[in-house]
Amino acid sequence: MASPRLRVSRRALLAGLAVGLGAGPAFAASKRHKTKSAAKEPVPDPAADGTPLAFPPVVDLKDGETCDLVAAPADHAFLAGHPVPVVGYGGTYMGPVLRVRRGTRTRVRLVNRLDRPTNVHWHGLLVEGRFDGGTTPPVAPGGTWEADLAVDQPAATLWYHAHVHGRTAQDVHDGLAGLLLVEDDVSAGLGLPATWGVDDLPLVLQDRALDAGGRPTYVETAAVMNHGFRGPDMVVNGIAHAVAEVPGRLVRLRLLNAAGARTFRLFFEDRRPFRLIATDGGLLAEPSELSVLVMAPGERAEILVDFAEGAGVLLTAPDEHEHRDGPKAMLLPDVVDRPTRVLAFRTVRDERPTAVLPARLVDLPPLPTAAATAELRQRRFELRMTGASPAPTAPAAHDLHVMGHAGMTRGPGGVGELAEPPPIGTINGRTFASGRIDETVRLGTSEIWEIVCPDMAHPFHAHGVHFRVLSEDGDLPKAWNRGVKDTVRVENSARLLITFTRPADAERPFVYHCHLLEHEDAGMMGAFTVA
């Protein structure tokens, strides 16, 4: 059991609050279970090697309470036995899982013990603009900021992270992110697997470039700004080569893509099917059977996986990252060219009966008819990177591949020498300007937002709202883009039905932006008020 994060968390944060220490002990207690197999010769166990997965501590935020969320330096071992300095909340890499119940109101006080200014945004939580954190001026080292979180939305797996413009990619890379769970009676009554850390597992997925000492390296070059940082090492809850022990029955995985740039195309090595039960904003109307799940940065998904058939290995395909137009029409292969192991699962004996998956989950409001949507206010957003063409003599794809590997992990001499001008992110031709309001929206209304991505796919995210994807390139949305969303990977174009239920003024507007964090930092962001 990787105990450092648990030990630190005890000493840590959140005075006056019960700190549930996740479910780590489940691992120590469980015994290895031999998988049923007809073969006589020993079956190689793909999950035999690896570091036991650990879970962040859970902090229950009770109605009327105030808790401190302390952004501070910490030590963390991505590679077992190699602790390195990182940052996070409450003394851990990333931070605790903040758990709130629908109908409660709590205050969270951000305490900055870092040597850099910071703020915090509640990604997917519907709160007023002044508490959303997206445009909160960074808090100086030693300073504090308080958010009043009145929670009124369905159960969902959300997250929080630093949101200082121009620094978000680096800060999230360094560890300033954590999970935020909303719970409600509806989801609790469905009989879904709900034993935290046993059959209900939070999995925060990130890619990192770890050096031999286990230190994650992030070098911001023009090419990284342009395409986003990618690393060859997958970490889950901050652990590389992780192995999770799971009971041999139905298990709920709460997935968060907290990578800065990489889209994960997830599947099990044995191609076992699984059921998607929730997306960003909560449960789907009904489960959807899949064997592949695509998740862009910022997105969450909850799946149910049956481990009655034994061990499994979750993989991700290489990330196809493509620029389509004109001089940028080149394929930048990912840092890996074959599927990468994300997490291995080892099945352990468990006597409890498996959960029965309900056929229906929750009631979602029906989507409006085409005639009804035609009545709504329409806005169009075109996302582009500019000033980011390759050097006149564009390197061959092979060189880019090599540089993708070496340049990013070793810094100068690689991608940084490409002589690209610093890229600028734009939406509708404008780069983000603090203080400028790009859109003004009426509180209580719904609108159709059309997102257009002419040069490459971008994960579009908006603060303070939830939306439904009405169509992608004119077709029905993909399975993982159904349900209630706040972030969506837009390949070419998508039409979103957005409802504005929380106010935001010009002082602390909401923002919409690309959640490829380097693009966000490069200005692919706009601000909107809701009144």
- Which spans of this chain sit near Cu ion (rule: CB under 5 A)? 123, 458, 463, 514, 516, 519
Q: Is 502 in the site for ligand C2O (CB under 6 A)?
A: no
Q: Is 121 in the site for ligand C2O (CB under 6 A)?
A: yes
Instruction: Select from Cu ion, ligand C2O, none the partner in contact with residue 259, using the beta carbon and a kind-dependent cut-off of 5 to 8 Å.
Output: none
Instruction: Select from Cu ion, ligand C2O, none the partner in contact with residue 161, using the beta carbon and a kind-dependent cut-off of 5 to 8 Å.
Output: ligand C2O
For the chain, state the CA radius of gyration.
22
Q: Is 513 in the site for ligand C2O (CB under 6 A)?
A: yes
Judging by DSSP bridges, how do beta strands 233-236 and 200-208 pair with one another? Answer: antiparallel
Measured CA distances, 453 to 142, 230, 323 (Å): 41, 21, 10
Least distance in angstroms from the C-beta of 38 to ligand C2O: 47
Choosing from 22, 91, 134, 310, the residue that interacts with ligand C2O (CB under 6 A) is 134
Least distance in angstroms from the C-beta of 123 to Cu ion: 4
Report d(CA 79, CA 77) in Å as an integer: 5
Q: Provide the b/e sequence for 150-162 (b: ≥16 CB within 10 Å).
A: bbebbbbbbbbbb
Measured CA distances, 295 to 125, 132, 180, 204, 313 (Å): 19, 23, 18, 12, 17
Instruction: Select from ligand C2O, Cu ion, none the partner in contact with residue 163, using the beta carbon and a kind-dependent cut-off of 5 to 8 Å.
Output: ligand C2O
Instruction: Select from Cu ion, ligand C2O, none the partner in contact with residue 230, using the beta carbon and a kind-dependent cut-off of 5 to 8 Å.
Output: none
By beta-carbon proximity to ligand C2O, the closer residue of 53 and 484 is: 484
DSSP state of 94: B
By beta-carbon proximity to ligand C2O, the closer residue of 262 and 405 is: 262
| Strand order, beta sheet including 144-150 | 84-89, 66-76, 105-112, 144-150
Q: Is 161 in the site for ligand C2O (CB under 6 A)?
A: yes
CA atoms within 13 A on the CB side of 449: 30
The residue among 423, 517, 404, 521 whose CA lies nearest residue 172 is: 517
By beta-carbon proximity to ligand C2O, the closer residue of 208 and 515 is: 515
Instruction: Select from Cu ion, ligand C2O, none the partner in contact with residue 513, using the beta carbon and a kind-dependent cut-off of 5 to 8 Å.
Output: ligand C2O
Q: Is 300 in the site for ligand C2O (CB under 6 A)?
A: no
By beta-carbon proximity to ligand C2O, the closer residue of 122 and 274 is: 122
| Dihedral, CA of residue 385, residue 390, residue 392 and residue 394, to nearest 10 | -150
At 370, give phi and psi (nearest 5°): -60, -40
Report d(CA 96, CA 17) in Å as an integer: 12
By beta-carbon proximity to ligand C2O, the closer residue of 176 and 236 is: 176
Distinct helix (H) and strand (E) counts, the chain: 9, 35
Q: Is 461 in the site for ligand C2O (CB under 6 A)?
A: yes
How many other β-carbons are positioned within 10 Å of the β-carbon of residue 7?
Answer: 13
Q: Is 123 in the site for ligand C2O (CB under 6 A)?
A: yes
By beta-carbon proximity to ligand C2O, the closer residue of 121 and 405 is: 121
Within residues 236-265, the interface with ligand C2O by CB under 6 A covers none
Question: Chain centroid to CA 164: how far?
Answer: 17
By beta-carbon proximity to Cu ion, the closer residue of 214 and 464 is: 464
By beta-carbon proximity to ligand C2O, the closer residue of 56 and 134 is: 134
Give the residues lining the site for ligand C2O (CB under 6 A). 121, 123, 134, 161, 163, 298, 461, 463, 511, 513, 515
